[in-house]
Every structure is written in C-alpha cells, then in structure tokens.
Amino acid sequence: MSSFTDFIAGIPKAELHLHIEGTLEPELMVAIGRRNGVSLPYPDAEAARKAYNFSDLQSFLDIYYRSTAVLITEEDFYELTLAYLKKAASQQVRHAEIFFDPQSHTARGIKFETVIRGIERALVEANRTLDISTKLIMCILRHLSEREGLEMFDNALPWKHWIAGIGLDSAERGNPPEKFRTLFERAHQEGFLTVAHAGEEGGAASVRSTLDTLHVSRIDHGVHCMEDENLVDELVRTQIPLTVCPLSNIKLKVFNSMTQHNLKAMLQKGLCVTVNSDDPAYFGGYINENYIEAATALQLDRNDIIQLAKNSFIASSLSTVHKQLYLKEIDHYAFPTEQVTI
C-alpha cells in the first residue's frame, strides 16, 4: 500500500449512504440461510459472489431482495449490523448514518420489532466498544405505493426514539418523488431528518423535483445533477449534500468506468459531495475501497481527500459541536506538525 492509500485508509470519516441489508456478505448470507432453512439459488458463497454482475439498478435489486430473505430472527439483524460496524470502524468510520428497509422484511412476515431490535442492539454495542457513533434512517421502498409506505411509517412511530430519519430508496425509474409527498410531509411534521435517493437512474430533473417536492436535507447519489447548471449553482449555494457511491455507480453502469465518474468535477464545482459504499457486499468494496478506487482513477490529491472526509461530517446530522470535533480531528491527522486552529 502506498503512503497515499495509507493516508486515505487512516483519515477519520463518516458514512452517510449505506443500506444495512446491502452489507450482507455472501459468507454470512449462506450461513444464516442454512441456519434458518432458507434455500438460496447459490451452492456456496463463492458462487453467490460470481453472480453479482448487474446490468442496471433493477437487476441488482432482484438479487438483493432474494438474498435479504435469509434474514428472519432478531439475532440475524444483530449479526448483520455488528459485522458492518466492525468493518466500518476498522476503516476509520467514526460516524455512520445507516439505512434499513423494513418493508422488504415485513412483506415476508417478519415483524418490524424483530428487525429494529436486532439492529439497535448492534448499534448500542458498537457505540460502547468500537468508537463509532450511529444514527438509523428508515427507508421507504419507492416501488411500493405511498399507502403502503404510510402504513410502515405509522407502524414505526412507536420506535421513533431509535429512528433519526426517513429516506426513500429502491427503483427510481417510474417512481417519482411526487408519489411520496404526503409521507414526507408527515416525516417533517414528526421532526425526522429526511433524505432521498435521486439522480442515480433519473436525471437532473429528478434531483430538482425531489428537492422541491420532498424538501429533503440530503440527496443520495445525485450525480446527474451535473446535467443542469442552474441546479448545480443552487446546490453549491445551499450546500445540500450529495452522498455519492462510486463503486455502486460503476457496478450499476451509471458510469462506464471509474475514470468517467464525475466525482472530481463535482468537488471542483464546490458541491458538498461525500463518498460512501451504498451496498458494499454487492459492489466490491467498503468506504475505503470507494475512496481509493475513485482517488486512483480520478487522480484525486490529498486536499481532495481531506475535503471529502470533512464533507462527510459536515453533511451528517451530528450536532455542530460534534462536527467541529471531527473536523479538528481530521486537521490533526492531515497536518500533525502544524498548530491547527478552527
């Protein structure tokens, strides 16, 4: 490993776009599947990994939902979440805002309570033992109806003390943000942080309508915002963060290759862009691999990496005091011999 990749690996960072179900590594999927008597279309973990070739978002989602079906007990959700947090902490993730997709479990007859209790137990344990803070964001599946989303939302309210935010994920195409206007109004009324996927499959217009209709604090992905200069100007002015996932974008053919990714151009425009791993078990890398592969292909320099790491905390929903502490930690890491003042 070069000193530059060491530098990337060691810099404190936050992860803001991470689906916990997308961290289900094939080995754990096969083990949990066997334990629960759920048959999978793969004889072993290696065969599963080989099957992870996707042509677009939908082809990924088909495999993703099938794999998720092994998760049944509270222990399964606990193990899944703790495995991710251990990995994230080992890559110097200090703070993670984690998505979960309860509808993909309740639709299979799994109780919401089972899912959230297992996840929360791992979050509490990691908080105590791994030097990582966390927040939980409940995502609504946009390929389902708003009525189903609202039912999920109401069912989750008794657990509100464990849920920081509401997000919107799954198939963007054919499921515009307008479909979820009422649900996001409810989320705002209840005081949740709100985020939504947009501008991954959809173009700049999808990012625009998500901001105008759902009034979210962050856009997940958002890479296609670059097609609209006025929108870019507005995003630079408002500093609404964009949680970009480079390896995901390559695997799902949003860009043909990493050298064609627009992450560097987004940074140069002054957008509040962050690097994240999305569904790392399926896309070939956790947060450090995302940073390193993007940095290598796009020739990012030290200052770009520092900016990306700082953005990850600035874009988080942490308190101002906590953000300042992390920014200071990054400065101490990046400039160890200098007197750093903030």
Least distance between Zn ion and beta carbon 225 (Å) = 16
Provide the minimum distance between the beta carbon of 25 and Zn ion in the complex, in angstroms, as a whole number: 17
Map residues 92-131 to x or -, x wherever contact with Zn ion holds by CB under 5 A: ----------------------------------------
Q: Catalytic residue at 25?
A: no
- Concatenate the DSSP letters of all residues of 20-39 into one string: GGGG--HHHHHHHHHHHT--
How does DSSP assign 279-296, residue by residue? SHHHHT--HHHHHHHHHH
- DSSP codes joined into one string, 66-129: HHHTT--SHHHHHHHHHHHHHHHHHTTEEEEEEEE-THHHHTTT--HHHHHHHHHHHHHHHHHH
Number of residues that bind Zn ion (CB under 5 A): 1
Taking residue 196's Cβ as centre, other Cβ atoms within 10 Å add up to: 30
Q: Which residue is nearest to Zn ion (CB)?
A: 278
Instruction: Return the range that interacts with Zn ion (CB under 5 A); candidates 64-72, 132-140, 274-282, 332-340.
Output: 274-282
- Identify which of residues 201 and 278 has a Cβ nearer to Zn ion in the complex: 278
Between 76 and 279, CB nearer to Zn ion: 279
Query: Nearest distance from residue 19's CB to Zn ion, in Å?
Result: 6
Catalytic residue among 15, 200, 289, 293: 200
- SS3 for 161? helix
3-state helix, strand, coil in the chain (%, to 5): 55, 15, 30
CA distance 176 to 170: 11
Closest approach of Cβ 335 to Zn ion, in Å? 33
H helices present in 256-340, as ranges:
263-269, 280-283, 287-298, 302-314, 320-334
Smallest distance from Zn ion to CB 207, Å: 14
Q: Which is nearer to Zn ion, 120 or 278 (CB)?
A: 278
Q: How far is the CB of 197 from Zn ion (least distance, A)?
A: 6
- Of the two residues 74 and 220, which places its CB atom closer to Zn ion in the complex? 220
Beta bridge partners of 140: 168
- Window of 8-16, 103-111, 233-241, 276-284 that interacts with Zn ion by CB under 5 A: 276-284
Structure tokens at 100: 């979960």
Strand pairing report for 193-198 and 218-221 = parallel
| Candidate segments 150-158, 180-188, 267-275, 278-286, binder of Zn ion by CB under 5 A | 278-286
Nearest to Zn ion of 61, 231 (CB atom): 61
278 binds Zn ion (CB under 5 A): yes
Nearer of residues 146 and 278 to Zn ion, judged by Cβ: 278
Catalog residues that contact Zn ion under the rule CB under 5 A: 278
- Residues assigned a catalytic role: 200
